[in-house]
Amino acid sequence: MRCQKCGEKAVINMRQHKLALCKSHFLDWVPDQVERTIKRYRMFTRHDHLLLAVSGGKDSLSLWDILYRLGYSADGLYIGLGINGGVNYSENSLEYALNFAKERKLLLQVKDIQAEYGETVPMMTIRTHRGRYKPCSVCGLTKRHVMNQLARSQGYDALLTGHNLDDEAAFLFGNTLSWVGSYLVHQGPVLEANRPGLVRKVKPLCRMYEREMAAYALLGGIPYIQEECPHAIGSTSIYHKEILNKLEADRPGAKLSFYLSFLQARRNGLFSPSADERAESVHTCSKCGQPTSAPGLCAFCRMFSKTEDYLLSNQLDGL
């Protein structure tokens, strides 16, 4: 197979785009595609101060590399969740993120959940019973809270995540199977800051296949943590990804078309906020100042207040 741009030996064949490329043309093609996505969805400009959530995995590190190559100014944020899972997952992933930042002299902010809130995500999960002992629910809530809090307090213009097309299509598939309208209304490449206290969220890799991002990291010489988070193993989202991969194998381009058709349907007004949602008044959490649908504390502060009570009672017991 030959590169369609220069005729050299191709290293990747992307059936979904009917395109085969050599290493050097592929490494130029990926940033070019991401730049088009940034412009198409008016995500941000080169004047904006960006904060990228960095996990140490291939997507976020590749995105950081791409932004750097394209001349955008993006700082990284690594959130230490305290996940071990028998593979020192959090410690190792931090190492990859730190090395990446150091080599390119980029700023990586590190927030350690246990240092900040007294307990790791798995500890909070066991004690609060949130998510039936599966940490993903506590983890998602914590990450969203910490990312928004830091982006807001330090005046960043947008918060970026490395979600790729496979992530977005699997999320969409799951929400379509159960018709979770409230998620479908809000899913997309850009989540506007439509409530006071929220920072704009964007996903510049939303049109890039996971396979393309893995190839970019590999060919671009970007070391990243290869292991999945131990809590992702056996998850519904991975199961949905596998189903979509089968569909993609038979019909190249199916994932992209599923996602893009959804975005088009949404633009055409197929989904709209429910009457409940429209009537919902926005409240501000009395503790952290972030928006919440009910008066009083937001979901994160409610969960964390149980940690505070628990830690305090432990201290009192020790007196």
**Which listed option, ligand Q46, Zn ion, none, makes contact with residue 301 (CB within 5 to 8 Å by class)?**
Zn ion
Largest CA distance in the chain: 76
**Which listed option, ligand Q46, Zn ion, none, makes contact with residue 287 (CB within 5 to 8 Å by class)?**
Zn ion
Per-residue burial over 213-233, b = 16 or more CB atoms within 10 Å of its CB, e = otherwise: bbbbbbbbebebbeeebebee
Nearer to Zn ion, 19 or 87 (CB): 19
Count CB atoms within 10 A of the CB of residue 105: 7
CB of 21 vs ligand Q46, minimal distance in Å: 29
Q: Is residue 47 classed exposed, middle or buried when 0-12, 13-18 and 19+ CB atoms within 10 A define those classes?
A: exposed
Q: Scanning residues 179 to 218, which ones bind ligand Q46 (CB under 6 A)?
A: none
CB of 44 vs ligand Q46, minimal distance in Å: 23
The upper half-sphere exposure of residue 6, i.e. CA atoms within 13 Å in the direction of its Cβ, equals: 12
**Which listed option, Zn ion, ligand Q46, none, makes contact with residue 288 (CB within 5 to 8 Å by class)?**
Zn ion
Closest C-alpha among 238, 233, 220 to residue 89: 233
Site residue total, ligand Q46 (CB under 6 A): 7
Nearer to ligand Q46, 25 or 148 (CB): 148
- Draw the binding track, 5-24, toward Zn ion (x: CB under 5 A; -: no contact): xx-x-------------x--
Closest C-alpha among 100, 114, 306 to residue 221: 100
Nearer to Zn ion, 21 or 158 (CB): 21
Q: Scanning residues 220 to 239, which ones bind ligand Q46 (CB under 6 A)?
A: 229, 231-232
Could you tell me the two tokens for 315?
């201290």
CA distance 169 to 214: 17
Q: Tokens 């394209």 correspond to what residue?
A: 70
CB of 55 vs ligand Q46, minimal distance in Å: 7
CA distance 228 to 143: 17
DSSP labels, 110-142: EEEHHHHHSS-HHHHHHHH-TTTT-HHHHHHHH
CB of 318 vs ligand Q46, minimal distance in Å: 30
Q: Is 27 in the site for Zn ion (CB under 5 A)?
A: no
- Draw the binding track, 112-151, toward ligand Q46 (x: CB under 6 A; -: no contact): -----------------------xx--xx-----------
φ, ψ of residue 21 in degrees (nearest 5): -135, 155
Which member of 25, 58, 111, 231 binds Zn ion (CB under 5 A)? Answer: 25
CB of 266 vs ligand Q46, minimal distance in Å: 24
CB of 126 vs ligand Q46, minimal distance in Å: 13
CA distance 64 to 47: 17
* Inter-residue contact 303 to 141 (CB < 8 Å): yes
CA distance 274 to 185: 9
CB of 4 vs Zn ion, minimal distance in Å: 8
Count CB atoms within 10 A of the CB of residue 276: 9
Q: Is 80 in the site for ligand Q46 (CB under 6 A)?
A: no
Q: Of 40-48, 61-69, 205-213, 293-301, which part binds Zn ion (CB under 5 A)? A: 293-301
Q: Is 287 in the site for Zn ion (CB under 5 A)?
A: yes
Nearer to Zn ion, 10 or 50 (CB): 10
List of residues contacting ligand Q46 (CB under 6 A): 135-136, 139-140, 229, 231-232
Residues in touch with Zn ion (CB under 5 A)? 3, 5-6, 8, 22, 25, 285, 287-288, 298, 301
